[in-house]
Structures are given as structure tokens and as C-alpha cells.
């Protein structure tokens, strides 16, 4: 029972600000579009098409605590109001629901978001989107998946019989809140966050590899965005509070430092003084949403 309370506590912190009433958003909504299947389960997204599209698409990762749902209470869900500013500016928004722990692992969720981008690119014409103008955004674990796409998105398998898998999963811009970026140095050098420390209650999300030291070292490198940064990193904006005790600010600072070391062209970090792991309804914070929207305006011209 104590462990269950721990898990729920950490997940609640990772999902801050995600439960609220929905208001009308002026956009055409297409629900439950199947972008893939795994173990008999459909992976879905909702597409929001604005009245005056600008031709660019935003992949909004509906994920917190490596949990994802369209409408399940106490989980990150699809909330049209979160996309209002982007829709107003003409972005077509794809709200992507991934698989969730404990049934699936973080590594499998990375595969999900890559599949989603490939699907969107395959069907770009259908949604009036330029396949070469795709951005991605998320928060916390969704931020981790955002940076996983930014660092690991790439060419598809040209030999695959599935036309979706032949497409690239690369994105052209990224923006996220307080993302885990380096599970091998989580808060400081040599501190493991691979199902340990603050993330110990979420050990199951890392899978059986996290049960041994050797497995943690290998997995931590594979799923940490920081180890996949190259000079080809797309324009990336991160917003992080300096009082975050779930995902340390050090995670974003280290990522930005690595990106600059690798000569990545355009990476920025905005630090919110006194803010923890989420602040109010951060997805609707005028200041933060404007920063993200402006970033995409500049990066997805």
C-alpha cells in the first residue's frame, strides 16, 4: 500500500496542471485516429484543424509520469483549450496518446511517438500540413519524449512493407517543460534515476533492465536524450523551474550545455524562478504558451 501511494504521489507531481474543464475551441476535431497498433491495442491521436491553417503541424504529446490517456481522470488527457493559442496562430495540432506504464516501458513509448510522427508525415496532405514543418511539445515525461524525438528522430526503414514505417520520424522544432534528459546523472554526477532516487516509485516504467546495475547503465544511455544530441538537433526551447524537486533543473542545464558543445544551432533554456514541477495551469500560462508559440513561429516558417 505504501509503494502504491509513492507511485501515485510521483505520478501526481508529473501530471500537475492537467485536469480542468474544457471550453470550446474553434477547430475541426477528428477523434481517435489510429496511428498504430501494438499487442492488439490501438494507438490513437486526435487531430485539431484550425479555421485558417498556416501549413505547419504540432505534435502534442499527451503524457505525464509515462502515463497517457484520452480522457481517464487523474491522468494527462486531451484538453482542447491547451491548444487554443496554437490553433489561433494556424497550427494543426495532433494530440498523441501513447501506450502507458506499467504495461509498457519508456523505451516502447519512444517507439510510439516516432510512429506517430511517421504517421502524421505520411498523411500530411490529408490534414493540410507540410510534412517538413512539424514541431513537437510536451511536459515532464512528455518533455522527455519530446527531446527523444528531437534527438533520435530520423529516416524510416526503406525496406518496410508498411508505408508509414518508410517515413522519417524527424521533427523540425521542439519545445517542452521540465524534461528528464540524463537518467545516469539525475541531479548530479553519477546519481542514477533509472528507476532509482526520485523516480524509484516508477521503476516499472523502466522495465526489467532497471533491476541490475549493468542493465541500468545500458538502458540509461539508450533512453536519455542527452546521449543522442548532435549538431543536427532541431531548434529546441526548454522551460524549467529552479525549485523542481522531481526533475532537477540540472537536467535541462546539462542538455543545453551538451547541445552547445555539439554545436547545435538553436537551443534555449528559460528558467522560472521559484517554480517547482509545474505551476498552476502551465499549459495555459500566457507567458509560457506565448514563448512556445513564438518559438514555433520562428522555427517552422
pLDDT tens digit sequence for 108-159: 999 999 999 999 999 999 999 999 999 999 999 999 999 999 999 999 999 9
The model's pLDDT over 191-235, given as tens digits with 9 standing for 90+, comes to: 999 999 989 999 999 999 999 999 999 999 999 999 999 999 999
H-assigned helices in 62-197: 84-88, 106-122, 141-152
Closest CA to 180 of 13, 8, 5: 13
Convert the pLDDT of each residue in 270-291 to its tens digit: 999 999 999 988 888 899 999 9
For residues 274, 275, 280 and 285, what is the CA-based torsion angle, rounded to 10 degrees?
100
pLDDT confidence tier of residue 77, bands split at 50, 70 and 90: confident
According to DSSP, the residues that pair with 94 across neighbouring strands are 47, 59
pLDDT of residue 74: 61
Note the pLDDT of residue 14.
52
- What 185-190 contacts at long range (C-beta under 8 Å, 24+ apart), as own/partner pairs, is 185/250, 185/254, 186/248, 186/251, 187/248, 187/250, 187/251, 188/250
Mean pLDDT of all residues in the chain? Answer: 92
Alpha-helix runs per DSSP H in the chain: 2-14, 84-88, 106-122, 141-152, 203-206, 213-223, 249-261, 286-299
- Tell me the pLDDT band of 105, cut-offs 50, 70 and 90: very high
pLDDT at 26: 82
Phi (first) and psi of residue 67, to 5 degrees? -120, 145
Helices 141-152 & 106-122 angle (0-180, nearest 10): 60
Whether 177 has a pLDDT exceeding 90, the answer reads yes
Where do the domains of the chain lie, and which CATH numbers do they carry? 2-299 (3.40.50.1820)
Where do we find the cell 508529473?
A: 14
Q: Which residues pair with 59 in a beta bridge?
A: 94, 136
How does pLDDT run across 148-174, given as a tens digit for each residue? 999 999 999 999 999 999 999 999 999
Whether the CB-CB separation of 94 and 128 falls below 8 Å is answered with no
Amino acid at each position: 500500500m505504501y509503494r502504491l501511494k509513492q507511485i501515485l504521489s510521483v505520478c501526481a507531481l508529473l501530471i500537475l496542471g492537467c485536469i480542468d474543464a474544457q471550453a470550446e475551441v474553434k477547430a475541426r476535431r477528428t477523434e481517435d485516429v489510429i496511428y498504430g497498433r501494438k499487442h492488439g491495442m490501438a494507438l490513437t491521436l486526435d487531430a485539431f484543424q484550425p479555421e485558417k491553417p498556416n501549413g505547419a503541424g504540432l505534435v502534442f504529446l499527451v503524457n505525464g509520469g509515462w502515463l497517457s490517456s484520452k480522457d481517464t481522470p487523474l491522468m494527462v488527457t486531451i484538453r482542447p483549450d491547451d491548444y487554443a493559442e496554437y490553433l489561433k496562430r494556424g497550427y494543426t495540432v495532433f494530440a498523441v496518446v501513447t501506450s502507458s506504464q506499467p504495461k509498457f516501458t519508456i523505451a516502447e513509448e519512444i517507439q510510439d511517438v516516432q510512429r506517430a510522427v511517421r504517421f502524421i508525415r505520411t498523411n500530411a496532405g490529408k490534414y493540410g500540413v507540410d510534412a517538413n514543418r512539424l514541431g513537437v511539445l510536451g511536459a515532464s515525461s512528455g518533455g522527455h519524449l519530446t527531446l527523444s524525438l528531437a534527438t533520435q528522430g530520423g529516416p524510416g526503414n526503406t525496406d518496410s512493407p508498411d508505408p508509414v514505417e518508410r517515413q522519417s520520424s524527424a521533427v523540425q522544432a521542439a519545445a517542452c517543460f521540465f524534461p528528464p534528459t540524463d537518467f545516469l546523472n539525475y541531479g548530479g554526477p553519477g546519481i542514477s534515476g533509472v528507476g532509482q532516487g526520485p523516480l524509484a516509485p516508477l521503476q516499472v516504467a523502466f522495465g526489467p533492465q532497471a533491476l541490475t546495475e549493468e542493465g541500468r547503465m545500458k538502458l540509461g544511455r539508450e533512453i536519455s536524450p542527452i546521449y543522442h544530441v548532435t549538431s543536427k538537433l532541431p531548434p529546441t526551447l526548454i522551460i524549467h523551474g529552479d525549485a523542481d524537486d522531481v526533475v532537477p533543473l540540472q537536467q535541462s542545464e546539462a542538455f543545453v550545455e551538451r547541445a552547445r558543445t555539439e554545436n547545435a544551432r538553436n537551443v534555449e533554456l528559460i528558467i522560472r524562478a521559484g517554480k517547482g514541477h509545474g505551476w498552476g495551469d502551465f499549459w495555459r500560462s500566457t507567458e509560457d504558451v506565448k514563448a512556445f508559440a513564438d518559438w514555433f513561429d520562428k522555427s517552422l516558417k
